[in-house]
Structure 1
Amino acid sequence: MAWLRVLRGLALGAGSVGGLSGAAYGLLNGQSKRARTLIGKSTDLPRNADGVYLPDGSGPVTEEPADVLTFAVLGDSLAAGLGAETDDKLPGVRLTKGLAEEAGRPVRLTTHAIIGSRTSDLDEQIDVALINPPSLALVIVGGNDVTTRMRVGTSAALLARQVRRLTEAGTTVVVGTCPDLAIVEPIPQPLRAIASRWGLALARAQRHELDRIGVRSVSSAALLSPEFRQRPDELFSEDRFHPNGAGYELAASVLLAPLCDAAGLTGGWRVLPA
């Protein structure tokens, strides 16, 4: 699992950047190994249920109707929905059904997100998306930037450049910022605190850069972390790192309104001309 690289990466980064003593570095490195053992490795491939969904909640349909709204999901394993038990529990599917209901028209979902992706990997996903630019796109990325110890400012600036490629093609974009790793209980302290500070700093930098270019961002840490802290057994998948279907349902409930509002339609998506 690509997310597990965060553990060793943070230990190495803390040692090189923070000037930790040999004993402190040894503690962090030992904790990273312990956490990797507790979390384990996922060999599952992400589910995919791309296609056209109708306002009545049905789909994907075999024949594409007219007047379809196009919606793309880009980013990492959280965007891809790793941990969802069934196709209908994928975050992209839940959001697509919600958009179709709000719009009163069919919505086509296309998932470009790839497990393990960093912000520097978005360019390939966007290259594919821009072959036929979607009307609306959701981007969730940042956690794996922490694993490779990419500088916060560099990562955030790169995100803004990549997102701008979509907006310049006419796509409305919403970005889910880096999550708070403090909610991942298998990561022991103080390693979890280091991961949390790093991720939250990246989330703030992401929001700053996105505000600068006029792109809506949603704080995953602020809006989702309290629920995941209170109900970890209900919201995490078996790996204890990624959400399960209920966790993604919660995330979708937070993301749907900003996706609708980003199009300039307060209170929900309404039918637009084709």
Structure 2
Amino acid sequence: MLAIAKLALAPLLVWQGLRVRRQALRLPEATGPRAGLAGQGALKLRLLIVGDSSGAGVGASTQQRALAGRLSEALADRLGGSVHWQLLATTGHSTGDALQALKQAELLPADLMVTALGVNDAVGQVSPRRWLTQLDELDAIARERCGIGYTLHSAVPPMHAFPLLPQPLRWLLGAQALRLNRALARQLIGSATRGMQALPAHLHGQAAAALMAPDGFHPNEAGYAAWAEALAERIARLQITLSSR
């Protein structure tokens, strides 16, 4: 059904896509260092974040108020110590782009990787099979180069709720994001070394607009805080499991 709808709506979808690109408000990536130490006391976790524009903090003023800073601080609070973090994220990156960046970047040792990817793959209509293959390779490279023991994939955000996107383009991209999420969830069933974290419920539906940046496409600082809290809660539970091995 999705393929038939894309074919039938192709002229309109192409026109809407071009119009959105021309008219969209282009916000900069968050300023500030791409690595640091959050919290005080004994080192509890070394964190690597790999992502696209949302990972890079578009919609927030600084990295401390974006995903990397919010997540590191939330983890430090929950784990009762310090968290060392490194961010590798660039606006416009698909998962394939992030994979190439990971292969080439100067990386620090890490225990856990969080990915914030998938929006540009949904926009590019990347197939679920190809996306899963790229995520598999991303995980393998991070293990080889950084020594991570666990990867937590943040779900593709609810693109059906992005205020910037007109209908039916919003519906199409939302449906593709859902396809990617479902495929990843199925693949990770039973995995002890990888997981997927859905975004908080209040980042879906009409309420999500209050947590979006002025461009209608990225989180604002409150949105990043809510996203980080959901990830931190999941990671804090994982840390207990990892520590007991």
TM-score by length of 2: 0.84
Please report the RMSD computed on the Cα atoms of aligned residues, expressed in angstroms. Answer: 2.8
Letter in 1 for 2:64: D
Structure 1 Cα separation of the partners of residues 61 and 132 of structure 2 = 32
More strand by share: 2
* Equivalent position of 1:217 in the other structure: 196
- Structure 1 position 165 matched with structure 2 position 141: yes
Return the alpha-carbon distance in structure 1 between the equivalents of residues 143 and 22 of structure 2: 42
Question: Equivalent residue of 1:263, what SS?
Answer: helix
Distance 2:190 2:141 in 1: 15
Deviates more, 1:171-180 or 1:209-218: 209-218
Return closer, same or farther for 1:202/1:113 CA change in 2, 3 Å cut-off: same
- What residue in structure 1 maps to residue 96 of structure 2? 120
1:256-271 aligned at under 5 Å gives the runs 256-265=232-241
Corresponding residue to 2:185 among 200, 203, 207: 207
Residues 19, 95 of structure 1: alpha-carbon distance in 2 compared, 3 angstrom cutoff: closer
Runs ≥4 in structure 1, deviation > 6 angstroms? none
Quick one: distance in 1 between partners of 2:137 and 2:63? 32
Partner amino acid, structure 2, of 1:146:
A
CA shift at 1:123, angstroms?
A: 2.5
Quote the offset at 1:19 in angstroms. Answer: 3.1
Q: Are residue 156 (structure 1) and residue 141 (structure 2) matched?
A: no
Name the structure 2 match of 1:77. 53
Aligned residue-pair number:
239
- Report how far residue 170 of structure 1 moved: 3.8
Gaps of 5+ in 1: 1-12, 56-64
TM-superposition CA deviations, 1:231-254 (whole Å, max 9, x none): 51x311121110110110111111
- Alpha-carbon deviation of 1:14? 6.4
The 5-angstrom pairing of residues 80-119 of structure 1 reads 80-119=56-95
Structure of higher CA gyration radius: 1
Are 2:102 and 1:132 aligned? no
Separation of aligned partners in 2, 1:66 and 1:186: 43
Kept after mapping to 1: 8 A contact 2:164/2:215: no
Match for 2:30 among 36, 43, 46?
Answer: 46
Q: Please list every run of 5 or more consecutive structure 2 residues that lacks an aligned counterpart in the other structure.
A: none
Following TM superposition, by how much is the alpha carbon of 1:18 offset from its aligned partner in structure 2, in angstroms? 4.0
- Aligned pair 1:36/2:21, yes or no? yes
Q: Tell me if 1:182 matches 2:156.
A: no
Tell me the TM-score normalised to structure 1 length: 0.76
